[in-house]
Amino acid sequence: MALSLNLPTASGSLAPYALRGTAPVRPEASVKFNRIAYSAAHVVADPLAAVDPWLQAAVDWDATIAYRRHLFSLGLGVAEAMDTAQRGMGLDWPTSLELIRRSLDAAKDVPGALVASGCGTDHLNIDDVKSVDDVIRGYEEQMAAIEALGGKLIVMASRALARVAKSPADYERVYDRILSQAKQPVVLHWLGDMFDPALAGYWGSKDVDAAMDTALAVIAAHPHKVDGIKISLLDKDKEIAMRRRLPAGVRMYTGDDFNYAELIAGDGFGGEPTHGKSDALLGIFDAIAPAASAALGALAQGNTEKFHAILGPTVPLSRHIFAAPTRFYKTGVVFMAWLNGHQTHFTMVGGQQSTRSLQHFAELFRLADAANLLEQPELAVQRMKTLLALHGVEG
């Protein structure tokens, strides 16, 4: 007999819902991917810590690192201390650096495990940042700390730079300084203002094409210091256009949580392998890790049809998790981890479990079931009923 429960509907009423999904597909352990795939991983809050959640970050380190080991076991890399981990949105720099250290240590136990770590300027008091030089010093401080641990850098977009830069030349100056000093090739990070309104006009222009020209000029000036660029604009055509203009060997890491399946599959354009496909650095891979791994394995074996059959059903779920206000997507990612038994509670750094409605969670539950992503259906139903009861829905 199918598992069932009553879920809120768009009209505000309740309706019976019976699970219809199948068991999540499991990847073949021996398959090597032909795309680099990073999952931007979330942190697990410590619900027992005596802190004020809006003001202080308390992390359950054991559960947080256990989840990274889970991602490694699926062949996925970890993009550490990014916005999925609530970086700059509850997770401060000292805690982020400790997270990076622990993640790098965990990776040493896993042959071939990939970790790249967010390097930003979020430790600066933004009201004290008066010049581009202040931004450079901020980047250099975090850069030195991460590289001292042996870490690879993801140079994150800077709210401070967006605030003080007066022209594209200011961006070129900052990135020229950072890239010229980097010990190994970095991943650049272009996060759209739908993810963080403070980043509006990044690269010196609100016109995306003009901003792209500046970013490409920065990369062209240092092609051997740039492993790739992650763009999160939720616009597949802009990503493809930029991908085709990257210098030879520089990768496009899709951050498009709406269109990732087709962008990773690629269109085979051009003579450069990196011009015809995207690699991945995605927050949604945290929530759909088993499916992402199995799909990437199928793609590596040349089975594009299977790749889309596995990954395609996850796209509606991702679009729902990343629906506007997109900056609240982390709540859906953590909710999925709770449903699937990867953590024992649904609390978040910054108290952000409160940023989505019960209707949002109900639709997320239905879409996760449709995408065959409920790893333990009985547990998922039990936990969904717990959330419903907390909102006054019994039975």
191-211 per-position pLDDT tens digit: 999 999 999 999 999 999 999
Name the pairing type of β-strands 279-282 and 251-254: parallel
Residues sharing a CB contact under 8 Å with residue 19, sequence separation 6 or more, in sequence order: 2, 3, 4, 369, 374, 377, 381
Give the Cα separation of 277 and 299 in Å (integer): 12
For residue 30, pLDDT over 80 is answered with: no
For residue 1, pLDDT over 80 is answered with: no
Q: How many CB atoms lie within 10 A of CB 262?
A: 17
| Confidence (pLDDT) at 395 | 67
Mean pLDDT over 113-129 rounds to 97
Which regions of 56-209 does DSSP assign to beta strands (E)? Answer: 77-80, 115-119, 152-155, 186-191
Query: Is 147 exposed, middle or buried (CB count within 10 Å of its CB: 0-12, 13-18, 19+)?
Result: middle
Mean pLDDT over 291-297 rounds to 97
Mean pLDDT over 244-258 rounds to 97
Measured in residues, the chain has a length of: 395
Average pLDDT of the chain?
Answer: 96
- Torsion angles phi and psi, residue 192, rounded to 5: -70, 160
| Confidence (pLDDT) at 2 | 77
Considering the entire predicted model, what is its pTM? Answer: 0.96
> Which CA distances in Å does 195 have to 186, 200, 367?
22, 10, 22
| Confidence (pLDDT) at 342 | 98
How far from the centroid of its chain's Cα atoms is residue 322's Cα? 11
137-186 per-position pLDDT tens digit: 999 999 999 999 999 999 999 999 999 999 999 999 999 999 999 999 99
- Is residue 222 within 8 Å of residue 180, measured between CB atoms? yes
